[in-house]
Amino acid sequence: MSVKSLRNFIGGRFEDGIRTFDKLNPANGELVARVHEASRDQVNAAVAAARQALPAWAALPVNQRTDYLYALADGIERRFDDFLAAEIGDTGKPVGWASQIDIPRGAANFRAFAEIARTLDMESFMTDTPDGRQALNYAYRKPLGVVGVISPWNLPLLLFTWKVAPALAFGNTVVAKPSEVTPSTATLLAEVAAEVGLPAGVFNVVHGFGPNSAGEFITTHPDIDGITFTGESATGSTIMKAVAPGVKPVSFELGGKNAALVFEDADFDAAVAGVARSVFANCGQVCLCTERVYVQRPIYDRFVAALKLEAEKLVLGRPMDSATTMGPLVSHEHREKVLSYLRLAVEEGATVVTGGGVPTFGDERDQGAYIQPTIWTGLPETARCIKEEVFGPVCHIAPFDTEEEAIRLANDTHYGLAAAVWTTNLTRGHRVAQAMQVGLAWVNCWFLRDLRTPFGGSGLSGIGREGGRHSLHFYTEPTNVCVKL
Ligand SMILES: NC(=O)c1ccc[n+]([C@@H]2O[C@H](COP(=O)([O-])OP(=O)(O)OC[C@H]3O[C@@H](n4cnc5c(N)ncnc54)[C@H](O)[C@@H]3O)[C@@H](O)[C@H]2O)c1
Ligand SMILES: N/C(=C\C=C\C=O)C(=O)O
């Protein structure tokens, strides 16, 4: 496989960086790309290009502006195989997941926000006034301005476009930095932007890292109007400090320590399959993944045994093999982090029901970042492995007796992103889902997404909601106009 050169896209032109860094395929350790790290001057140039492009882009009639978003979606689909190969080369994720989730959602995000921007109503009120007449109040929305987008490595194209699409749809211009771990599909999107004739400067891609690199150059830039970020909670905290001097708005989608509650009246097979998917999908590298499973006591032992079987049925294969159901973690560095939690769990007293280490294959996968799907039981709720996000294919299962206890256990966390409730009693399903202190609660399903709904979390899981009209709150600034009639 040829080694790609991934360059920066600034003011409509591709540019080398000040240095390059290597991108390795986590499935086999092979070099897939040399990535051009942008300098501070290049980030400054990208911000200047975005500022210069902003007035014309914001002034475009919404149908013309959103035509570009439909063209970007069409471009992703036209080059589907290129995006698929790039995403898999960067992440090692199975072709089944990348072809059904990552790449299709890249196109879907652009189409969803183009549609939302075209069909938005305007908030207005007719106000009775003391003189017996009326006034008209309406909220006139303008773009926030030049938006900094910083995205993570777990669902690279999905999460990159989840932020770029609404930013562009509502008339903003963008300076975007994908994760240094997964730079390829963002660069392909820049190629598509050039192919469809997106006006120069509207969409800029700069590569690099966080501290003292493109990430920090964006968040500390005085002419950036706001930051939308997806990544670790600790990074979110750092970015908040970076934007504080300018009191810039932030939209954060951060970490999670999500719970699944399985009641004894659940459809047992559906709950086992659904929980297994929510724990092990994408090698556990989805912020919405379940890491804490609570099962009502009468079915606890049976559920543990059944989930163990599901974990041991996973096929830890080569990404392009359609039989593969779990690929490697995204990097050896991340595998070391997950392994540290596997060791810690044993120290904290966990029973390892299955997994707990590194598989051996006797082939090139041994150079990859593969890890065994792991299930723990027996940890106290105070354990670090119960409180801290692992972000790998691992969960802890504990029993509960009453609904009230289950709700208390699930909510006993500083995170607040997602939860899943498995019960055939839908009155209970609604009640328990509403009691979850999270941004997203699924009942008898997981990661089922309607892009019009509010997405995000509270506490350590983030600030704000994006999705549908909820994205307006970050990507536009309303002026309330009051006209005396
Ligand atoms: N809530 C969500 O929707 C969601 C989605 C995906 C991932 N995540 C979270 O992201 C984490 C995994 O992704 P990750 O490891 O890429 O996260 P990360 O925070 O390490 O990095 C995310 C991005 O931030 C950049 N960055 C790092 N430090 C920075 C700094 N000081 N200033 C500016 N930019 C900086 C990185 O280069 C990268 O592009 C997990 O915690 C996961 O839960 C959350
Ligand atoms: N933001 C979304 C998913 C986030 C996944 C976290 O890893 C989405 O589905 O829109």
Cβ of residue 418 lying under 6 Å from some atom of ligand 2: no
Cβ of residue 449 lying under 6 Å from some atom of ligand 2: yes
Decide if 253 is catalytic. yes
Q: How far apart are CA 297 and CA 399, in angstroms?
A: 5
Cβ neighbours, 10 Å, residue 350: 22
Residue 189, H or E segment? helix 184-195
Q: How far apart are CA 371 and CA 358, in angstroms?
A: 5
Nearest CA to ligand 2 atom 6: 287
Each residue's pLDDT, cut to its tens digit, for the chain (485 residues) gives 689 999 999 999 999 999 999 999 999 999 999 999 999 999 999 999 999 999 999 999 999 999 999 999 999 999 999 999 999 999 999 999 999 999 999 999 999 999 999 999 999 999 999 999 999 999 999 999 999 999 999 999 999 999 999 999 999 999 999 999 999 999 999 999 999 999 999 999 999 999 999 999 999 999 999 999 999 999 999 999 999 999 999 999 999 999 999 999 999 999 999 999 999 999 999 999 999 999 999 999 999 999 999 999 999 999 999 999 999 999 999 999 999 999 999 999 999 999 999 999 999 999 999 999 999 999 999 999 999 999 999 999 999 999 999 999 999 999 999 999 999 999 999 999 999 999 999 999 999 999 999 999 999 999 999 999 999 999 999 999 999 99
Q: Of 253, 291, 389, 466, which is the active-site residue?
A: 253
Burial class (CB in 10 A: 0-12, 13-18, 19+), 320: middle
Q: How far apart are CA 245 and CA 423, in angstroms?
A: 48
The three-state secondary structure class of 226 is strand
Q: How far apart are CA 26 and CA 313, in angstroms?
A: 22
Cβ of residue 463 lying under 6 Å from some atom of ligand 2: no
Q: How far apart are CA 345 and CA 351, in angstroms?
A: 8
- Integer CA distances (angstroms), 384 to 78, 350, 377, in order: 46, 11, 14
Q: Are 178 and 149 in contact (CB under 8 A)?
A: no
> Which ligand lies nearest the alpha carbon of 236?
1
Residue 146, H or E segment? strand 146-150
| 230 HSE (CA, 13 A, CB side) | 27
Q: In sequence order, what E strands does 153-230 have?
A: 173-177, 203-205, 226-230
Q: Locate 437 and state its tokens.
A: 């202190």
Burial class (CB in 10 A: 0-12, 13-18, 19+), 481: exposed
Q: Are 431 and 448 in contact (CB under 8 A)?
A: no
Q: Are 418 and 288 in contact (CB under 8 A)?
A: yes
